[in-house]
Copies of this chain bind each other. A is one copy, B any other.
Amino acid sequence: MGLSNRGRAMLSEGSPLVEAHFAVAADPWSPENPDGYINLGTAENHLLFDLLEPRLTAARPVLEGDTHYQQLYGAASFRAELARFLGQLQGDEVDPEDLVVVGGTSVVLEILAHALCDPGEAIIVPTPYYAGLDDDFGGRAGVRVFPAPLDGFTLTADAIARAIASARSAGLTVRAVCLLSPDNPMGQVYDETTLRAVAEVVMAEGLQLIVDEIYAGSSYGAPFVSAATLVPDVVPPERLHLGWGFAKDFGLSGFKVGVLRTRDPEVRAVARQLAMFGPVSSDTQVFLRDLLADEEWTATLLRENVARLAAAYENVVKVLGEHGIDVLPAAAGLFVWIDLRPWLAEPTFEAELALWRRLFDEAKVNISPGAVFHSSEPGWFRLCFATSADTVRTAVERLGQTLSQA
């Protein structure tokens, strides 16, 4: 009875991915618990802790000033290190004043939804897309995610142009196109030609370009190209809004640290204002600042991340192949888009969900059905492989066994 109307509208049933994540967390598989659940449904990077551990567990040189108020959009000393680091990742010179540090890339995206769109307006997203966007854009911000269905899972400028036209025909005001680059859930890396062609459409249509590059440092199969390199040739600086975070490339998903880079002074001003509602602990800022300042350590981490992801990808494809499971070739990220169409009872999303539940209950393996990502074709699943080869092998063997009993 206390709830406002908008509060009531935010009551949701919860994401099935999140629920499954915490269900399996209560009874996780390990060599000592061989009947436990294996979670390959959450995009977390489990390959880096041996490198992080010595830093995380060491004594920390926290000063009194570190315990008091900083700029609520990120301490200047942290943004300075971030700018240098992002400059390398994005292949561009980054001004620390253009950075707004907040509690994760979800916060970056929610802030952009508020700053760029009024409620009911639309952001176009290539589809299938990372399910979290529905909350990030659509939750409190009330912005419509309008899907741009891809042609055979390939991003094209045409697909974006068609979606913009459809949204407008449906009476929607379109404000932006948002790319996840590299992409989630399919692990695709966009080359410069593709990015340029898409950006040209976005600019020609008078829209803003949002690019979430949270997997920028996790491209193991193709060179990552940042949208920052399209400025100023294709995109005026003030119309590009870039996101990045420590969750994936650094394996620190629990730290919830994201950063927005925007060169529109007004969007930046609003983002700084809203950053106060999603700030990052100065404690964690100091820790990450000192990590980044150690350039050699950071370079090693990123190099190891790419090498380990490449090996893990090779392993998962091989093991899946042993059970006759095909994948869409991937080049980045912590996951692969696998083809379980042959095992659907019928080509429907009901059958896809039924298969998911059987794999969850019988194989005790959590992967994510394509419907979660608004896939247009039933039977595809996202499988996260950035964990030990043993874990992946055990999980895939269980999946194969359950599938063979179909």
Contacts and interface: CB of A to CB of B under 8 A. Distances in A.
Work out how many copies of this chain go into the complex.
Answer: 2
B278 A67 contact: no
A58 B57 contact: no
Interface in A236-267: 238-239, 251-257, 264, 266-267
A68 B103 CA distance: 14
Interface in A281-323: 281-284, 287
Contact of A281 (B61, B254, B266): B254
A71 interface: yes
A266 B66 CA distance: 37
Contact of A118 (B5, B139, B257): B5
A115 B7 contact: yes
A252 B70 CA distance: 11
A208 B2 CA distance: 7
Interface string A99-123: 0000110110010001111110100
A170 interface: no
A89 interface: no
Q: How large is the interface on A (under 10, 10 to 19, 20 to 34, 35 or more residues)?
A: 35 or more
A57 B61 contact: yes
Contacts of A2: 115-116, 208, 238-239, 264, 266-267
Contact of A254 (B107, B140, B264, B283): B283
Given A2-B208, A266-B3, A253 B11 contact: no
Nearest to A65: B254
B270 A10 contact: yes
Tell me which of A2, A64, A116 has the highest count of chain B C-beta atoms within 10 A of its own C-beta.
A2
Given A57-B61, A57-B62, A118-B4, A279 B266 contact: no
A81 to B, nearest CB: 17
A256 B279 contact: yes
Interface in A114-149: 114-119, 121, 135, 139-140
Contacts of A270: 3, 7, 10-11
Contact of A284 (B12, B71, B116, B284): B284
10 contacts: A2-B266, A3-B264, A3-B267, A7-B116, A11-B270, A56-B283, A59-B59, A67-B255, A255-B282, A255-B283
Interface of A: 1-8, 10-12, 21-22, 42, 44, 46, 49, 52-53, 56-62, 64, 66-71, 103-104, 106-107, 110, 114-119, 121, 135, 139-140, 175, 208, 238-239, 251-257, 264, 266-267, 269-270, 273-274, 276-284, 287
Given A3-B264, A49-B67, A103-B103, 5 more contacts: A1-B238, A2-B239, A4-B114, A7-B266, A60-B60
